[in-house]
A and B are shown apart, each in its own frame.
Chain A
Amino acid sequence: MAAFGSFALLIGLALAAYNLFAGGIALRLLAVGGEARVSPERLAETARRAGIAGFAAVTAAAFALSWSVFHNDFSIEYIVEHSNIALPAPYKFAALWSGQEGSLLLWAWLLAAYGFVLRLTHKSDVKLHAYAGTILAGVQVFFLLLLNFAAPPFSLVRGGIAPADGNGLNPLLQYPEMVIHPPMLYLGYVGFTVPFAFALGALMMRYPGEKWIHITRRWTMFTWMFLTIGIFLGMHWAYAVLGWGGYWGWDPVENASLMPWLTGTAFLHSVMMQEKRGMMKSWNVWLIFATFMLSILGTLLTRAGLVSSVHAFAQSSIGNWFVGFLVLVAAVCIFTYVLQRDHLKSEHRVESLVSRESSFLFNNLVLLAACFTILWGTLFPVLSEYVEGTKTTLSGAYYSHIAVPIGVFLLLLTGVGPLLAWRASSFRSLRRNFILPGIGFLATAIVLIAVGLKPWADEGVFYSLMTFSLAVAVATAVASEFLRGAAVVHRQTGKDYFSSTVLLIRRSTRRYGGYLVHFGVVIIFIGFAGYAFNRSAEKPMATGDKMEIGPYTLVNMGNTQESNPNYDTEFSLLDVYQNGKKVLDQPMAPEKRVYAVNGQPQTMVANHSTMRWDLYVVYEGRDSTTGLPIIKAFLNPLVMWIWVGLVVVVFGTLVALVPSLSPARAIVAVPVPKSDSMTGQAAAVGLTGGGD
């Protein structure tokens, strides 16, 4: 199977290279109108078909590695390093991306899959798809070169003698979310290659209009959604597995995933300005270029050993390849932009500081400031080592001082932006739109201070108070947008308010889906704000011992050890009481596992999660002097809100992905009264329907 996989990768490389070169020649011939023995159209078609066949080749390679993992083929080095016989089946899937070579293969396969879909849907715009497909093939060539020559997943074990068993999967990865977190994240990372390819292709061919944005809009949202899910699954995994009580540690790998997310989010917002008003064309092109390059930079940072990270399981010496590729991509982008920049002149300019356009501009600014801050913080240890000779550490303390204020400002813009009108807002409309959110903000701040929050005592509490107050303001703004729109539809159609709201959303899925995403972001920020109030307690606990934390009392019912072929485990059984009443039917069982194959320990946190707070209990191990298990308990307020917020964000994105009712259908659906105002009403409905 190793030989089959290796040949599949070689064939994949040959097909991608053919796609790149034949596609490139065909597009050049089409551009300059030169004569050739083969017609450029036919050459471009062969290139497209080579791309489709390339997907089959890379799929065959991925299948070969999966087959080898499941059949314990320890003649392959990668399988020895990342799997073993006792590894449960779902984690054998995870072994595919737990190491350098496997995760590169996953990347290449997803890229080939995206390319497959892109090439199949070429009829919507044959020429633009040909450009995008060729650029995509260039990226595929890079990854397939890596897989064939720098990090081959099918290398045989040294000496040629297969061991009886493998070294097993990193215990940190033996957790259900780890089976889906990397594919989700990679769907996001890799997916940004598609809008990047379309943007670069459209620029190369001086494509008129905003069609490339219309074509890639759903790709980008789809990709953004998966990146969001991937990041949050990673957070949940860190929360449940690492056992330090938090979900985000500002580790370079976490930062690497957040940076393209931030620029991708900025892109999703600013393309609306290009679609609506023909503005920000250069800006949008550079945002998507930056998003793609940040995906590559993130991979470079974490794999080249440039920055130290707890995610050290995938480091190697392939960094130079990524540096070379990044330089090449940057050079191509800059060259193309300089050559074609006159094509990207804006048709309009921002007319007022108080307008929807301005809010998008500031939203972009804040997102990019956040991205820069994270990039700066991630690279600063490298810089300080270069300048001063010592690596300066930048932990959460640094980021909470810098990134938290930026985040709070972003939350403010989330609420303010949708309340502003396109072009310019009148003072009257500002007063009307902001009065309710303003009251919500002030009332929340006053109530929270009255119930005992002291924003002057602690920076974290201050930001939490701001976040809670802004969250109420933004939620009020979002709700009032829905209510106002629903009231108009209710007046026009006579339907009840619920049906009116549904019709309103269907008429403009993108706009109201976007509001739902904003609402989800508000919920997530409320969850983040709870972090300032985390509490913890720790003590060695013998059977019958008690520990108090917040309103809960933990009673140790016993300490137990168990074994299975994969790991040995020891855990405590803790009954939880609140006001003398038992809260849980089953005791909490935090455990510590030690994996048989490599002797590595692993924490399994026990968590009782409610909307108010999480009771998060960690079995830290045994006290070296008394031999008693040390139990650490955290009371983390509002964490559940983060996961609920994610669900709302995903739901909102799915709503935005659904096509809106066409203006014609939307207008037909409305019984327009026969009067002089008919034209005006029809225009109003049309505008509401399409007005994102």
Chain B
Amino acid sequence: MVLIRNSPFRLSGLPCRIVQTLLIAIAICFSVGATDPQARFNDLGHKMMCTCGCGQVLLECNHVGCPVSGGMRDELSNGIASGMNDSLVLQSFVQRYGATVLAAPTTEGFDLVAWIMPFAVSATALIGTILLVRNWAKNQPKLASASSSQSPAQIKAEEELRERIRRETGTD
């Protein structure tokens, strides 16, 4: 709190109210989308697979006379109409058809690894690269000065030439 009070980025008065209003507006937008039955049907229908073996998302299964997707769609509509929340609807489908009905892994147990791994690997590689480049950049002057055999006059002339090239070509 002390930090916030002393911070130059502290918000008060009108700006604070604007930020609060924006946050409430965003929250309303999200909640409005979440309660619309048709939007929920579309959203949930894209979170499940058709189990006929076509390998397509439930609402995208386009097989003529598919013996499964029609019933699953009706089941989904009934689940939404009965007042179940999204999580319960998905759970009821998992109980009936098994975990393979879900179009994406859950966020529990081993399935969580599916979500975490790409981000973990990317973040590790990103941080590792940044640290490596910073380390290289820090050690660069030492390497350069140790290996440099050019006189100061040569270095100055080269710098001037480079600057001239930049100026005349409009590039770096």
Is the C-beta of A341 less than 8 angstroms from some C-beta in chain B? no
- Closest B residue to A346 by CB, please name it: B136
A389 to chain B, nearest CB (A): 10
Partner of A380, one of B105, B136, B140, B168: B105
Are B62 and A350 neighbours in the complex by a CB distance under 8 Å? no
The proximity string for B residues 34-69 relative to A, scoring 1 for CB distances below 8 Å and 0 otherwise, is: 000000000000110100001111001110110000
Are B114 and A349 neighbours in the complex by a CB distance under 8 Å? no
Q: Which of B99, B110, B122 has the most CB of A within 10 A?
A: B122
Are A396 and B171 neighbours in the complex by a CB distance under 8 Å? no
Chain A residues with CB under 8 A of B74: none
**Number of B residues whose C-beta is below 8 Å from A?**
54
> Inter-chain contact count A-B, CB under 8 Å?
160
Is the C-beta of B17 less than 8 angstroms from some C-beta in chain A? no
Are A393 and B60 neighbours in the complex by a CB distance under 8 Å? no
Is the C-beta of A394 less than 8 angstroms from some C-beta in chain B? yes
**Number of A residues whose C-beta is below 8 Å from B?**
73
A308-B53 Cα distance, complex, nearest whole Å: 10
Chain A residues with CB under 8 A of B111: 384, 392
A457-B29 Cα distance, complex, nearest whole Å: 6
Partner of B169, one of A420, A488, A621: A488
The proximity string for B residues 14-27 relative to A, scoring 1 for CB distances below 8 Å and 0 otherwise, is: 00000000000010
Is the C-beta of A499 less than 8 angstroms from some C-beta in chain B? no
Chain A residues with CB under 8 A of B164: 677, 680, 684
B156 to chain A, nearest CB (A): 15
A664 to chain B, nearest CB (A): 18
Q: Which of B103, B119, B165 has the most CB of A within 10 A?
A: B165
Chain A residues with CB under 8 A of B103: 393-398
Are B121 and A372 neighbours in the complex by a CB distance under 8 Å? yes
A192-B62 Cα distance, complex, nearest whole Å: 37
CB contacts under 8 Å to A, within B147-172, are: 161, 164-166, 168-172
Is the C-beta of A28 less than 8 angstroms from some C-beta in chain B? no
Partner of A351, one of B30, B117, B126, B136: B136
A372-B119 Cα distance, complex, nearest whole Å: 10
A533 to chain B, nearest CB (A): 13
Is the C-beta of B71 less than 8 angstroms from some C-beta in chain A? no
A395-B129 Cα distance, complex, nearest whole Å: 31
Chain B residues with CB under 8 A of A387: 110
Q: Residues of A at under 8 Å CB distance from B?
A: 243-246, 249, 251, 308-310, 349-353, 358, 361-362, 365, 368-369, 372-373, 376-377, 380, 384, 387-388, 390-398, 401-402, 406, 420-422, 425-426, 429, 433, 454, 456-458, 484-485, 487-488, 592, 601, 603, 618, 620-622, 624, 630, 632, 677, 680-681, 683-684, 687-688, 691
Mind listing 28 A-B residue pairs with CB under 8 Å? A244-B60, A249-B55, A251-B55, A310-B55, A349-B139, A350-B136, A353-B133, A358-B133, A365-B129, A372-B122, A373-B122, A377-B114, A388-B110, A392-B102, A393-B100, A395-B104, A397-B103, A397-B104, A398-B105, A401-B115, A485-B171, A488-B169, A677-B164, A680-B164, A684-B165, A687-B165, A688-B169, A688-B171
